[in-house]
Structure 1
Amino acid sequence: MIFRRSLVKRTAVVVGAIILTAVVSMATTLAVSRSIEGNATAINRAGALRMAAFELLAHSAGHDEDASEPFEAQLAGYDRKLHQAPLTQTLPSAGNHPLRQQYEQMLMRWQQALRPALEDHALGTPVSASLLQATEQYVAEVDQLVTMLEQRTEARIDLLHVIQIISLVFSILIAVALFLDLRNHVLQPMRKLVRIAAAVGDKDFTWKANLSGSDELSRLGRAFDQMTDELAQSYGALESEAAAKTRELERSHQALELLHSASRTLFATHDLCNGAVPMLQELEVLLGIGPIRLYLHDKQASEPVEAITTSTPERPFYCRDHHCNACLVTPEVYDELPSEGNDGRRLLLPIRTPGQLLGTLEVWYPADRGLSETARRLLETLSDQLATAIFLEKQITEEQQLTLAEERAVIARELHDSLAQSLSYLKMQVARLRRLDIQGEHERTHADILDELSTGLNSAYRQLRELLTTFRLKLDTPDLYTALRQTVDEFSDRLGQLVDLDYNLPVNTLSPNEEIHILQIVREALANAIKHADATLVRVEVHFESPRVAVRILDNGKGLPGGEQPFQHYGLIIIQDRARTLGGKVSVANREDGGVEVSMGFIPKSRHTILTREANAG
C-alpha cells in the first residue's frame, strides 16, 4: 500500500531490484568461477598420473643400468606428484566428500598395492600378471578421480548458466514492470499536466487532470486542479485589485502634491504650526492615518517635547494664536482615533540631519489595516522635509542673533567714541567753573546754574552708560533662560540676597530681538529694585500665559511714594519704551503686602519653531 502511494518509492524499489539482481548475479558468478578455479589444471595433473604409472611399469620391465635417474628416485618423484598443490588444492576439505574419498582411495591403492608391487618386481624382468593387474586397477582409480573432477566442473558451469538465465529473466520482468508503471503513472499524467500548464498560459482554466491514486503525480494533478480553480477566482479579482492599486497611486500622487505645497509653505512662513498642521490633517485623510504628533529634541531639555499635533481635545500649552482651532477636535472624535487603547499602532520616524537628531515624528494608524509601503515612504519624505525646515529655521535664528549683536556693538562703539567723550568734556568744564571765585549779586544764580548743568550732565552720562550697557549686552548663552539665570546670579551678589527666578516659557518662542528686550527690562527693573527699593527679597517671573508672555519683577521694598508710578523716571521710561517696541504695556504698582511689582505682557510676533520646556529655579 505504501509503494502504491509513492511514485518515488516505487521507482526506488525497481532501481533497487535491478541493482540487487546485478549484484547477486555478479556475486554468484564470481563465487562459481572461483570454485572451479584450478580444476582444469587438476584434471591435467590427474591425467598425467595415468601416463606416469604406465611409464613406471615400463621402466621396471626394461630397466637400463645407465639411466640418468634410479628407479627408486622415480618412485619418490611419482609420490610427490600425487601430493602436488595443483591437485590437492582443488579437492574439498571435508573428509566425507566423494571427491576427497576417491582421492584417498587412489592414494591407498598406490601406497598399498602398486608401489609395493613395483618395488618387489625385479628390474629388467618381464611384467607379471599381478603387477599388470595392480597397475590397471590403480589407473582405474585415477580415471575415476579425473571423471569426478570433470563432472564437478561441468556441474558448476551449468549452475553458472542457470544463474545468468534467472538474472536475465528477472531483469526483463523488472524492466517490463517499470515501463508499464512509467507509462500508466508517469507519462500519461505528465501529458495531462503539460496540457493544463499550456491552457493556463492561454488563460483557459477549464482543463482538469482528474487523476486518481495517491502517488506524487496524482497529488500534483489534484493540486493543479485546485490551482486552476483558484486562478480562475483570483484572475476575476485582478480587475478590482488593479483598480484599488490605481486609487492608491492617485492617493500617493495627491499626497506628493500636498507635501510639495507644504514644503513651500514651511520654507516661506517659517512656522511649523501654521504650515504643517493643515498639511498633516490632509495627509491623514488621504492615507487613513492619524493623529500625527511632532516631538522636537532640545539639548537643554531632558525629554523630547511636543511641538505640534493634528488632533487634541484641549488647546496645547504652546499655542500662541487662540483664534486658531486647527488642531482642536471634540472628545468623541479624539476617542475614535487610533491609540494604544484603541487598537492602534505607532510609527516613529526620526527627524534628523547628518550628525544631529532634531526630533521625532509620531504617526498612529489602525492596527487592522496596517500601513502600506507607499504611505511609509511618503511619511519618510515628510520627515526629511521637516528636518530641513527646522534646521534652516535654527540657522536663521542664529544669524539674526549674530546680526543684532554686531549692529548693537557698532552703535555702542560710535556712542563711546563721540557722545561719551563730549559729555566727559562738558563735565570737566563744569568742574572748572565751580572752582572759579564768583562773588556778588550773581553768585547764587551762578551756583544754581552750575547745579542744574551738573545734574543734567550726570543724568545724560548715566543714560549714556545705560545705553552702552544695553547695546553691548548680547545673548551668548544657549537660550533666554540661561541668560536670565546668569543675570539673577549677578544681582543676587549685588543685593546680598538670593533673587528667585520662576521661568516657564517655551524655548524659541521669541525672536532674538524680543529676547534681548526682555533681558534688558529684567536688568533695569532689578537695578531699580536694588538701588531705590531697599528690598531684601526680589523675585523674577517669566511665564507663558498662552498666547501672551508675561514678565514680572517683584520686591518687598519700601514701595512707590504715594503709591503712584514716578513721573519721568529714567529707568521706567526705558522699560516702557522697550515694552512698546514689543507691542506690550508696562505696569508699575505697589503690592498689597509691601514692595513694588513691575509687570509687562505682550504677544510674540515672531513665527518660529516651538519647543516646550519648563525650568523653575528657587
Structure 2
Amino acid sequence: MKSRSPLVNRIAVVVCAVVLTALVSMTTTLAVSKSIEGNATAINLAGALRMGAFRLLAHAAGPVDSLTSANSIKSLAAEYEDNLTDNLITRAIPGSADHPLANQYRTIQAYWKQTLRPSLENHPHGLPVSANMVAATEAYVDSVNQLVSMLERRTEARIDLLHLIQIISLAFSVLIIIALFVDLRNRVLKPLRKLVSIAVAVGEQDFSRKANLKGTDELAQLGSAFDQMSSELALTYYELEERARSKTEELEKSHTALQLLHNASRNLFANHDLCSGAVPMLQELEQLLGIGPILLYLHDKESTEPVQAVTTASADRPFYCRDHHCNACLVTSEIYDELPIEEHDGRRLLLPIRTPSGLLGTLEVWYPAGKGLSETARRLLETLSDQLATAIFLERQITEQQQITLAEERTVIARELHDSLAQSLSYLKMQVARLRRLNIEGSQKPAHDAILEELSTGLNSAYRQLRELLATFRLKLDTPDLATALRKTIEEFSGRLEKPVKLTYNLPPQALSPNEEIHTLQIVREGLANAVKHADATEIFVEVVFESPQVKARIKDNGKGLPENGQPTNHYGLIIMQDRARTLGGQVAVRNREEGGVEVSLTFVPKSRHLIPTETSST
C-alpha cells in the first residue's frame, strides 16, 4: 500500500489543486467568453436584416419619384448585401462547413443572391409587388429568423456551458476546501490537541497518555517522538521516584537503626550483660533491615575456637543459656527453617569485633541471597560491631578490674591473717604441746588428755584451713579468671599427690561473677585437699561444667571413702563448703561412689540469671 504523503506535501497538493481548478475555470471561461464575443451584435444585425428586407420590398413597390429610382434600389440592395456579409455576422458563424448555422447562413446568402435580389432589382419601379415577391420576401425573412434563433441558441448554449464550468469549478473548489478542512481536522487539529493534552499531562506528572498517531507525516512522527519521550520520562520519573522512595526508606531505616543502636549502647553499658543488652536490640535490627539470624562469637585465650555467646534465633536452647525462664532467642522449627542460613539460600557477613588492643570476637550476620545487603545496612552493622567491641572491652575491663581488686583485697587479708591469726594459732599449738609434756597423774588424766586431743585437733584443722586460705589468697594470675586459677590449683595438688589430677572445664566466658569464681575455687580446693590428705586416693578427677542453667563442680577420687556414719573425720571443711554453697545459692553434696571413693559435688545457678525480662521475649 502506498504510504500517504507527508503533511507539507498534502498541503502543497491541495494548494496546487485549488490553483489548477482556478486556472482551468478561468481558462475555460475566457475561451467560452471569447467564443460568444460579438454574438449579440451579430444577432442585432441579423434581426435588422429582416426589417431591411421588408424596406427593400416597400421601396420597390413605392411611386416613382425620379429617374434615379432604379439606381436607388440597386444601391439599397448593395448596402443590404454589405450588411448581410458584415464581419460581425460572419465571425459569429462557425467556420465548420457542415455546421447547421453555417449551412443556414449559406442558404440565406444563396437565396438573397439568387432569388430575392434579382427580383427586387428587376421589378418595375412603381408597380405593385407580386404575391410571389411577397412570399419570397417572407420566406427569406423566415430564414433570417431561423438564423437569428440559431445564433441565440448557440449563444445561450455557450452561456450555459460557461455556467456549468463555473458550477463545476465551484463544486470542485468546495470539495477541495472541505477535504482540506477534514484533513486538517483529522491530520492537524486532532493530533495537535492530543499533543497539547499530552504536554499538559506531562507537566502534571501524568505519563500514561499516548498519542498513538498513525501515518508517516510530520505530526505522526512528532506524536511518536512524544510517546517515546513520555515513556522515557515516565521510566526516568518512576526510577527517580523509586530511588527517592528507596533512599527515604533507607534514611528512615538508618534513623531508626541509629536510634536503636543508641538505646542499645546505653543498655549494653548499663546491664553489663551481652544477652540482656544485645538480643532484643539485634532482633529489632533484624526486623528493620530484613536480615537475620545474627550470632556473636567471643574469642577467649583459653579456647582454640570462638565461643558462641549470643544468637537471635535458635530452635534449641543454647548451651550457654543461664536463664531457662527466658525464651528471647527461641523460635519454632518452622520459623528457623525459613531463616536465610547456609542451607536455606542465605549469605553470611562476618564482621570483626576488635579494639586497638586486639580481636575480641566476631559478629556473624545472615541475610537473604536474593535480597542482598545494602551499603547503609552494612555501615550500620559495622557501627554495631564497634559498639559491641566497646561494650565487651569495657565489660572485660570491669570484670578484670573487679578481680584484680578482689585479688588485692585477698592479698591484704592473707597478710593480715598471716600476721595475726596464723601467729596466734601457732602460739596456741605450742601451748598445747607444752601441756602434753606435763605429767598429770590421777583420775583427771583421761579428761585432760581428751581435752588436749580435742584442742590439738581443732587447732590443726583451723591451721590447715588457714594455710588453704593463705594459699588461695596468694594466687598470682596473669589473667585473673577461674580457668587459670583452676589450672594452677590442679598443678599444685598434682604435685602434692605426686600424680596428675585430671581437669574437665567447659564454662562459657564470663559465666561467673568474681565472687562466684572465688567460692567455686575454694570449694574445689577444699575437696582436693580432703582427697589428698584423707582419702589415700591414687586418682582424682575434677569437673567444672556448665549444664544450662546450672554450674556443676565435681571432685571425684578412688580413695577409701567416707566412714560408716557418713561424716568425714574432719568435718570442719564440709561445714565451710556448705556455707560457701549457700552463699552461691546452691548446695554441696558429699557421698561415697559405687565404684569406690568419694564424690564432692557443688551445684548452683549463676546470679546473672533472669537478665532478659520475660515480656521482651520473642516467643
State the TM-score, normalizing by the size of structure 2.
0.59
Counterpart residue number, 1:592: 594
The question of whether the paired residues in 1 share the 8 Å contact of 2:338 and 2:344 is answered with: yes
**Cα distance between partner residues in 2 of 1:444 and 1:336:** 82
CA 1:443/1:408 → structure 2, altered by over 3 Å: closer, same or farther?
same
**Cα distance between partner residues in 1 of 2:355 and 2:547:** 33
Question: Once the 2 structures are TM-superposed, how far is the Cα of residue 329 of structure 1 from its aligned partner?
Answer: 1.1
1:501 corresponds, among 500, 503, 524, to: 503
Q: State the one-letter code of the partner of 2:465.
A: Q
2:605 corresponds, among 586, 603, 606, to: 603
Q: State the one-letter code of the partner of 2:313.
A: S
Counterpart residue number, 1:267: 269
Counterpart residue number, 1:166: none
Counterpart residue number, 1:467: 469
CA 1:598/1:328 → structure 2, altered by over 3 Å: closer, same or farther?
same
**Cα distance between partner residues in 2 of 1:602 and 1:327:** 23
Question: Once the 2 structures are TM-superposed, how far is the Cα of residue 285 of structure 1 from its aligned partner?
Answer: 0.9
Q: Deviation digits for residues 12-71 of structure 1, max 9, x if unmatched? A: xxxxxxxxxxxxxxxxxxxxxxxxxxxxxxxxxxxxxxxxxxxxxxxxxxxxxxxxxxxx
The question of whether the paired residues in 1 share the 8 Å contact of 2:535 and 2:560 is answered with: yes
Counterpart residue number, 1:132: none
Question: Once the 2 structures are TM-superposed, how far is the Cα of residue 386 of structure 1 from its aligned partner?
Answer: 0.5
Q: State the one-letter code of the partner of 1:376.
A: R
Q: Deviation digits for residues 233-277 of structure 1, max 9, x if unmatched? A: 322564455344333322222212111111111111111111111
After TM superposition, list the pairs within 5 Å mapping 1:29-108 onto structure 2.
Answer: none
CA 1:239/1:583 → structure 2, altered by over 3 Å: closer, same or farther?
same
Question: Once the 2 structures are TM-superposed, how far is the Cα of residue 374 of structure 1 from its aligned partner?
Answer: 1.8
Counterpart residue number, 1:371: 373
Counterpart residue number, 1:235: 237
Other structure's SS at 2:302 match: coil
Counterpart residue number, 2:248: 246
Q: State the one-letter code of the partner of 1:326.
A: A
The question of whether the paired residues in 1 share the 8 Å contact of 2:550 and 2:604 is answered with: yes
CA 1:601/1:313 → structure 2, altered by over 3 Å: closer, same or farther?
same
Counterpart residue number, 2:404: 402
**Cα distance between partner residues in 1 of 2:305 and 2:444:** 74
The question of whether the paired residues in 2 share the 8 Å contact of 1:304 and 1:359 is answered with: yes
Counterpart residue number, 2:460: 458
1:430 corresponds, among 426, 429, 432, to: 432
The question of whether the paired residues in 2 share the 8 Å contact of 1:290 and 1:363 is answered with: yes
**Cα distance between partner residues in 1 of 2:381 and 2:569:** 60
**Cα distance between partner residues in 2 of 1:459 and 1:323:** 43
CA 1:608/1:378 → structure 2, altered by over 3 Å: closer, same or farther?
farther
1:302 corresponds, among 294, 301, 304, to: 304
**Cα distance between partner residues in 1 of 2:406 and 2:431:** 36
The question of whether the paired residues in 1 share the 8 Å contact of 2:404 and 2:480 is answered with: no
Moved over 6 A (4+): 200-208, 222-225
Question: Once the 2 structures are TM-superposed, how far is the Cα of residue 579 of structure 1 from its aligned partner?
Answer: 1.4
Question: Once the 2 structures are TM-superposed, how far is the Cα of residue 587 of structure 1 from its aligned partner?
Answer: 0.6
Question: Once the 2 structures are TM-superposed, how far is the Cα of residue 483 of structure 1 from its aligned partner?
Answer: 2.9
**Cα distance between partner residues in 2 of 1:451 and 1:340:** 71
**Cα distance between partner residues in 2 of 1:223 and 1:343:** 45
Counterpart residue number, 2:573: 571
CA 1:471/1:237 → structure 2, altered by over 3 Å: closer, same or farther?
closer
Q: State the one-letter code of the partner of 1:553.
A: I
CA 1:606/1:355 → structure 2, altered by over 3 Å: closer, same or farther?
same
Other structure's SS at 2:606 match: coil
Q: Deviation digits for residues 499-523 of structure 1, max 9, x if unmatched? A: 2222222122112222222222222
**Cα distance between partner residues in 2 of 1:314 and 1:460:** 48
**Do structure 1's residue 323 and structure 2's residue 364 form an aligned pair?**
no
CA 1:231/1:581 → structure 2, altered by over 3 Å: closer, same or farther?
same
Counterpart residue number, 1:488: 490
Other structure's SS at 1:371 match: coil
Other structure's SS at 1:562 match: coil
2:384 corresponds, among 360, 382, 385, to: 382
The question of whether the paired residues in 2 share the 8 Å contact of 1:474 and 1:516 is answered with: no
Q: Deviation digits for residues 450-481 of structure 1, max 9, x if unmatched? A: 44443443333333323323333454456433
Question: Once the 2 structures are TM-superposed, how far is the Cα of residue 557 of structure 1 from its aligned partner?
Answer: 1.4
**Runs of at least 5 residues in structure 2 that lack an aligned partner in the other structure:** 1-201, 214-223, 612-619
Other structure's SS at 1:557 match: coil
The question of whether the paired residues in 2 share the 8 Å contact of 1:269 and 1:607 is answered with: no
**Do structure 1's residue 553 and structure 2's residue 555 form an aligned pair?**
yes
The question of whether the paired residues in 2 share the 8 Å contact of 1:508 and 1:608 is answered with: no
Greater CA radius of gyration, 1 or 2?
2
The question of whether the paired residues in 2 share the 8 Å contact of 1:271 and 1:608 is answered with: no
**Cα distance between partner residues in 1 of 2:388 and 2:309:** 12
**Cα distance between partner residues in 2 of 1:298 and 1:430:** 51
Other structure's SS at 2:340 match: coil
Counterpart residue number, 1:138: none
The question of whether the paired residues in 2 share the 8 Å contact of 1:543 and 1:550 is answered with: yes
Counterpart residue number, 2:526: 524
**Cα distance between partner residues in 2 of 1:451 and 1:331:** 67
Other structure's SS at 1:341 match: helix
The question of whether the paired residues in 2 share the 8 Å contact of 1:475 and 1:516 is answered with: no
Question: Once the 2 structures are TM-superposed, how far is the Cα of residue 440 of structure 1 from its aligned partner?
Answer: 5.4
After TM superposition, list the pairs within 5 Å mapping 1:413-452 onto structure 2.
Answer: 413-439=415-441, 442=444, 445-452=447-454
Counterpart residue number, 2:133: none
Q: State the one-letter code of the partner of 1:487.
A: T
Counterpart residue number, 1:334: 336
Q: Deviation digits for residues 300-328 of structure 1, max 9, x if unmatched? A: 32222222111111111111111111111
Q: State the one-letter code of the partner of 1:522.
A: V
CA 1:486/1:447 → structure 2, altered by over 3 Å: closer, same or farther?
closer
Counterpart residue number, 2:517: 515
The question of whether the paired residues in 1 share the 8 Å contact of 2:475 and 2:485 is answered with: no
The question of whether the paired residues in 2 share the 8 Å contact of 1:361 and 1:383 is answered with: yes
CA 1:601/1:573 → structure 2, altered by over 3 Å: closer, same or farther?
same
The question of whether the paired residues in 2 share the 8 Å contact of 1:500 and 1:538 is answered with: yes
Q: State the one-letter code of the partner of 1:370.
A: G
Q: Deviation digits for residues 86-117 of structure 1, max 9, x if unmatched? A: xxxxxxxxxxxxxxxxxxxxxxxxxxxxxxxx
CA 1:535/1:225 → structure 2, altered by over 3 Å: closer, same or farther?
same
CA 1:494/1:330 → structure 2, altered by over 3 Å: closer, same or farther?
same
**Cα distance between partner residues in 2 of 1:414 and 1:223:** 99
Other structure's SS at 1:289 match: coil
**Cα distance between partner residues in 1 of 2:445 and 2:337:** 87
The question of whether the paired residues in 2 share the 8 Å contact of 1:501 and 1:541 is answered with: yes
Other structure's SS at 1:551 match: strand
Percent identity of paired positions between Structure 1 and Structure 2: 75
Question: Once the 2 structures are TM-superposed, how far is the Cα of residue 447 of structure 1 from its aligned partner?
Answer: 4.5
Q: State the one-letter code of the partner of 1:351.
A: I
The question of whether the paired residues in 2 share the 8 Å contact of 1:321 and 1:547 is answered with: yes
Counterpart residue number, 2:139: none
Counterpart residue number, 1:411: 413
- 441-450 or 592-601: bigger deviation: 441-450
**Cα distance between partner residues in 2 of 1:432 and 1:341:** 80
CA 1:584/1:202 → structure 2, altered by over 3 Å: closer, same or farther?
closer
Q: State the one-letter code of the partner of 2:372.
A: G
How many residues are paired up? 405
Other structure's SS at 1:365 match: strand
CA 1:573/1:207 → structure 2, altered by over 3 Å: closer, same or farther?
closer
Question: Once the 2 structures are TM-superposed, how far is the Cα of residue 582 of structure 1 from its aligned partner?
Answer: 1.4
